Copies of this chain bind each other. A is one copy, B any other.
Amino acid sequence: MRSLKVADATGGQDFSTWALTRQARIEQVLDQNLPSANIAPQQLHSAMRYSALAGGKRVRALLCYAAAEFCETHNIATDAAAAAVELIHAYSLVHDDMPCMDDDNLRRGKPSCHKQYDDATALLVGDALQSLAFEILSQPDLCLQAGEQISMLNILAKASGSTGMAGGQAIDLSAVGKPLTQTELETMHHLKTGALIQAAALLGAINGSSEQVAAVRNYALNIGLAFQVIDDILDVEAVTSTLGKTAGKDASSNKPTYVTLLGLKHAKQHAAQLYENAIAALAPFGDNARRLRELANFITQRSF
């Protein structure tokens, strides 16, 4: 892995500067690790870069960096982990947008991959982005103890698979038009988005103490669910131009959401409670957990 200078200590930075620095950093790490569009097969590589370098808030990378800084273990492996998680997320969006899944033509305000290229390319882009995530995280020069690196790979694989993200998408598909209880909806979302969000934080905390890891796990579980509740709220409240994807999509496709289940007011209260739970998990750690707290606020502040 091409090495980037590890950022200076950032205790004095405000959150906005911290986040912008980390967002720029993950773009650079991804750019360096995605094959050039000049390398064959050119169209596949061009489409992989189109899909994985499309920006976004990079919430998962920020969680990984914040957890690593919380545990004071930020190193070159943190970059690899943040990139791997963002690549898994990017692949899931490419496949999720395809006609046989959500059939969405817009992603972050641009044509989704299968619209910009074609369905076959989008299928292969997702497949190859998943492989690349595991390739980056299995590099031999990540300066980790090998056992820890294997644990990271196993965490990422479990979070991505049939009892993680892919499983959540399967439940989501089968739930269309069906009434779900709040518990069933929560299980679905915990798999579909929560598992990877939790993995992002746990990969950052790979060298933390058992108390730190437990706190990060609890924090990420709650913030992952809050993230999804807010996504449902935004789907109702936002207009397509500000959301960067087709608004109202979930409601119009008869998918169960927190808003349809709880109503808008109670969905916002539920998100607020999940946020409080996440913050409470960090209580013993004082200012060391500052970035994780700020990040919880960043993820949730937009809608309640």
Q: Is the CB of A157 within 8 A of B169?
A: no
Q: Which residues of B contact A91 (CB under 8 A)?
A: 127
> Which residue in B101, B134, B171 is a CB contact (below 8 Å) of A123?
B101
Q: Is the CB of A167 within 8 A of B40?
A: yes
CB distance from A34 to the nearest CB of B (A): 9
Q: Is the CB of A35 within 8 A of B162?
A: yes
Q: Which residues of B contact A35 (CB under 8 A)?
A: 162-163
Q: Which residues of B contact A146 (CB under 8 A)?
A: 145-147, 149-150
Q: Is the CB of B98 within 8 A of A123?
A: yes
* A122-173 contacts to B (CB < 8 Å): 123-124, 126-128, 130-132, 134-135, 138-140, 145-147, 149-151, 153-154, 156-158, 160-164, 166-167, 169-171, 173
Q: Which residues of B contact A124 (CB under 8 A)?
A: 95, 162, 166, 169-170, 173
Known: A126-B127, A171-B40. A154 touches B166 (CB 8 A): no
CB distance from A97 to the nearest CB of B (A): 11
Q: Is the CB of B130 within 8 A of A171?
A: no
Most central of A119, A139, A153 by chain B CB within 10 Å? A153
Q: Is the CB of B101 within 8 A of A166?
A: no
- Count identical subunits in the complex: 2
Known: A41-B170, A163-B35. A135 touches B158 (CB 8 A): yes
What would 24 A/B residue contacts be, using CB atoms closer than 8 Å?
Answer: A35-B162, A35-B163, A39-B163, A40-B171, A43-B174, A100-B120, A120-B173, A123-B123, A124-B166, A127-B130, A128-B161, A128-B162, A128-B167, A131-B157, A131-B158, A131-B160, A131-B166, A134-B157, A135-B157, A138-B154, A140-B154, A149-B150, A150-B150, A150-B153
> Which residue in B43, B130, B150, B160 is a CB contact (below 8 Å) of A170?
B43
Q: Is the CB of B151 within 8 A of A153?
A: no
CB distance from A179 to the nearest CB of B (A): 17
How many chain A residues sit at the interface, stated as a range, is: 35 or more
Q: Is the CB of B166 within 8 A of A127?
A: yes
Chain B residue nearest to A140 in the complex (CB): B150
**Quick check: is A293 within 8 A (CB to CB) of the other chain?**
no
Chain B residue nearest to A188 in the complex (CB): B41
Q: How far is the CA of A150 from the CA of B43 in the complex (A)?
A: 30
**Quick check: is A45 within 8 A (CB to CB) of the other chain?**
yes
* A157-206 contacts to B (CB < 8 Å): 157-158, 160-164, 166-167, 169-171, 173-174
**Quick check: is A44 within 8 A (CB to CB) of the other chain?**
yes
Chain B residue nearest to A120 in the complex (CB): B100
**Quick check: is A223 within 8 A (CB to CB) of the other chain?**
no
CB distance from A293 to the nearest CB of B (A): 32
**Quick check: is A218 within 8 A (CB to CB) of the other chain?**
no
**Quick check: is A246 within 8 A (CB to CB) of the other chain?**
no
Q: Which residues of B contact A170 (CB under 8 A)?
A: 41, 43-44, 121, 124
**Quick check: is A259 within 8 A (CB to CB) of the other chain?**
no
